[in-house]
Amino acid sequence: MISLKGKVALVTGAASGLGAASALLLAKHGAQVVHADLKPRPEEGWHAIDVASEAAWQEFVSHIVAKFGRLDILVNAAGISLEGDTVLECTAETWQRTMAVNLDGTFLGCKHAIPALSAGGGGAIVNFGSVLSQVGDGNAAAYVASKGGVRLLTRSIALHCAKARNNVRCNLVCPGYIVTPMVEEWLKGLPAGARGDLEARHPMKRLGRPEEVAELVLYLVSDEATAVTGGEFNADGGFTAW
């Protein structure tokens, strides 16, 4: 069984969906998990952070290292998808906020976590892309662009760290349509039958579960994956295999 005992993991977007499932599973396997979200819970181990703020990232990573003495894992799961996101409907504000959270937030997290990961002897980063960073969607201009950026950013970071020999790995997980609060809310605004149509677009004929994606995250941050970096891993029920 994979063990993360002794490792400190930072998970953004930990309040719900893929971030919550990832945080729960990493903790189950022994990691000391620091939960981060824009709207955190009041329990111990939860912290508020706007991932689009560089100052917030600097302060947060410094706090983690000061408290725990190390940082071993970063999971950049925070992300948003806003309404009115076709190329003609998308406002400058929608575009900028989507980029700020999804792309800038991932970049800033990696930028400020890498020195801490390296100082502890190395570590692992998992960024969240999407199947829509590979196939596109006419109703999600800003979202698709932001996730496409995360896809190539992940490759760049992996190559940089490999060349620097800092023992920091960086990989990309691309979920399909997963049963998360964000997807459920989106489905509510669609006509009756939309869920069935969406399930039919997946060869496995169902939507994925957050726990299934979390299992992939667990592997990628573990010592079982020490030769894996710069990779893209789909958890999409075959969505991109058509």
Q: 73 vs 185, which has greater pLDDT?
A: 73
The burial of 130, by beta-carbon neighbours within 10 Å (0-12 exposed, 13-18 middle, 19 or more buried), is given as buried
Residues 73, 26: contact at Cβ < 8 Å?
Answer: yes
Catalytic positions: 143
**pLDDT tens-digit series, residues 102-157:** 999 999 999 999 999 999 999 999 999 999 999 989 999 999 999 999 999 999 99
Lowest-confidence pick of 88-92, 120-124, 191-195, 232-236: 191-195
| Percentage of the chain exceeding pLDDT 70 | 100
Lowest-confidence pick of 34-38, 114-118, 178-182: 178-182
Which pLDDT band, with edges at 50, 70 and 90, does 171 fall under? very high
Q: Say whether pLDDT at 13 is over 90.
A: yes
What mean pLDDT comes out for the span 200-229? Answer: 97
Strand-pair partners of 235 = 175
Q: Which domains does the chain have, with CATH numbers?
A: 8-180+209-237 (3.40.50.720)
Residues 158, 122: contact at Cβ < 8 Å?
Answer: no
Burial 211-239 (b: 16+ CB within 10 A, else e): eebbebbbebbbeebeebbbeebbbbbeb
Q: Which residues contact 216 (CB under 8 A, 6 or more apart)?
A: 173, 233, 235
Strand-pair partners of 125 = 74, 170
Residues 227, 166: contact at Cβ < 8 Å?
Answer: no
What strands, in cross-sheet order, belong to the sheet with 123-128? 46-48, 32-37, 8-12, 73-76, 123-128, 168-175, 232-235
The count of residues in the chain is: 242
Q: Is the dihedral of CA 232, 233, 237, 241 positive or negative?
A: positive
Going through 91-155 in order, the beta strands assigned E by DSSP cover 123-128
H/E segment holding residue 158: helix 141-164
Closest CA to 173 of 109, 114, 224, 216: 216
